[in-house]
Structure 1
Amino acid sequence: MNFDLKEILTASMILFAVIDIIGSIPIIIDLRKKVGHIQSEKASIVAGLLMIVFLFIGKEILNLIGIDVNSFAVAGSFILFFIALEMILGVQLYKDDAPETAAVVPLAFPLIAGAGTMTSILSLRAEYQPINIVIAIVINIIFVYVVLKSSGRIEKVLGKQGINVVRKIFGVILLAIAVKLFATNIKGLF
């Protein structure tokens, strides 16, 4: 096992930016108002398991349908690019129907472990050791759980403007990550 603190920190920051649980607080609060109780534990565990399973068999799934990791990473860089634009510009490019319950489906997937997260995990797998990515996933899931449990208090502390500032900062970081991901993997296609 090759533990590398730099890889763990980098992967953690990338996943933190992509998952954007701080930026999702308004969505979480809205869900709580619509359906009542949010199952924080269940959503966190399921999202973590989805990410870890995809880390180890995602590449095989892609191979099964004839897509290489570089192609997936380049496509993922576009997804990350658009997610970053949404965060920075405050626009919504993709709109999903409002969920009827705040169970696993709207929280674990696609809010926490969505397409951007899965793309990032596969992209990270191309560059980092799997054990470091698993540790980064666990760190993020713990943080997600804490945020889900205390979203009401976080909203009061940061306020709407504070949440918007944090979202924009992570949007810029995510935009830079998308550009790097594209530049790194586009060479592998040619």
Structure 2
Amino acid sequence: MPPLPPLEKNLQAWITALVSIFIIVDPLGNVPLFLALTIDYPRTKIRSTIKRAVLVATGVLVIFCLAGEVILKFFGIRVPTFRVAGGIILFLIALRMIQALPLLTRSSPQETDQAGREREDVAIVPLAVPILAGPGAITTVMVLSGQESKFLVIVSILVVMVLTYIILARATWVARALGATGMGLFTRIMGLILAVIAVEFIATGLGELYPGWTSP
């Protein structure tokens, strides 16, 4: 197969980054938890909570996108090694999504319960971190920034966070429209796509670590 032209290659890279980040942030899957955390909030408080959470999550992901290589170098970790490890983590997350199991990269029950008692902190913890910008999202961003243009990754983060704001702002409508069955089906489909992307991450990392392993 001939190599893709630069424009098509960049478009393909951007779509991969966008889909990967959207799936792992999973704004649709987080709708029930968001509704539970803000159940007695007035409409104005809900809007301000969403805005703060999205801004903080965006900042966290952009920082890790820009500083990911520096962090890896500080700990003496090679990018291909991190890519393989990140791919394995994402694949395990994808399996849990396909099986409709709770994701381990989200907030723990203790964090959610504490946030429920300390209402003023819901926007930052657990909504922004670790629900929207959790270990899975941070890993995805760092892996992508090591193999794609950081500009494309940051644009993807911004687009996903705009979509996240819209979805959470319409959370009640989304939950009613999709229902439990619809949201479960959507999660499984997204998990399958994420599994494919994770395998690509692993294959790319192994190809860089062992250049001869893909040779015929």
Same fold (TM over 0.5): yes
Residue by residue over 1:10-65, the C-alpha shift from the partner in whole angstroms, topping out at 9 and shown as x without a partner, is 211111111111112222222223x7454100000111111111111121012111
- 2:56 alignment counterpart: 46
- 2:17 alignment counterpart: 11
For the 8 Å contact 2:111–2:125, the answer to whether it is kept is: no
TM-score w.r.t. the length of structure 2 is 0.80
- 1:124 alignment counterpart: 144
Match of 2:131 among 111, 122, 127: 111
Match of 1:172 among 192, 198, 212: 192
Residue by residue over 1:112-144, the C-alpha shift from the partner in whole angstroms, topping out at 9 and shown as x without a partner, is 111111111121112211111111111001011
- In structure 2, how many angstroms separate the alpha carbons of the residues matched to 1:68 and 1:188? 10
The gaps in structure 2 that reach 5 residues or longer are: 1-5, 116-121, 211-216
TM-score w.r.t. the length of structure 1 is 0.91
- In structure 2, how many angstroms separate the alpha carbons of the residues matched to 1:6 and 1:71? 23
- 1:81 alignment counterpart: 91
Deviates more, 1:84-93 or 1:112-121: 84-93
- 1:187 alignment counterpart: 207
For the 8 Å contact 2:28–2:183, the answer to whether it is kept is: yes
- 1:61 alignment counterpart: 71
RMSD: 1.8
- 1:147 alignment counterpart: 167
Equivalent residues, number = 188
- 2:183 alignment counterpart: 163
For the 8 Å contact 1:69–1:122, the answer to whether it is kept is: no
- In structure 1, how many angstroms separate the alpha carbons of the residues matched to 2:87 and 2:18? 17
Structure 2 counterpart SS, 1:175:
helix
Indicate how the Cα distance of structure 1 residues 104 and 137 shifts in structure 2: closer, same or farther if over 3 A, else same.
same
The gaps in structure 1 that reach 5 residues or longer are: none
For the 8 Å contact 2:88–2:198, the answer to whether it is kept is: yes
Identity fraction in percent: 31
Q: Which has the larger radius of gyration?
A: 2
- TM-superposed deviation, 1:74: 1.3
Which AA in structure 2 matches 1:120?
A: T
For the 8 Å contact 1:73–1:120, the answer to whether it is kept is: no
Structure 2 counterpart SS, 1:67:
coil
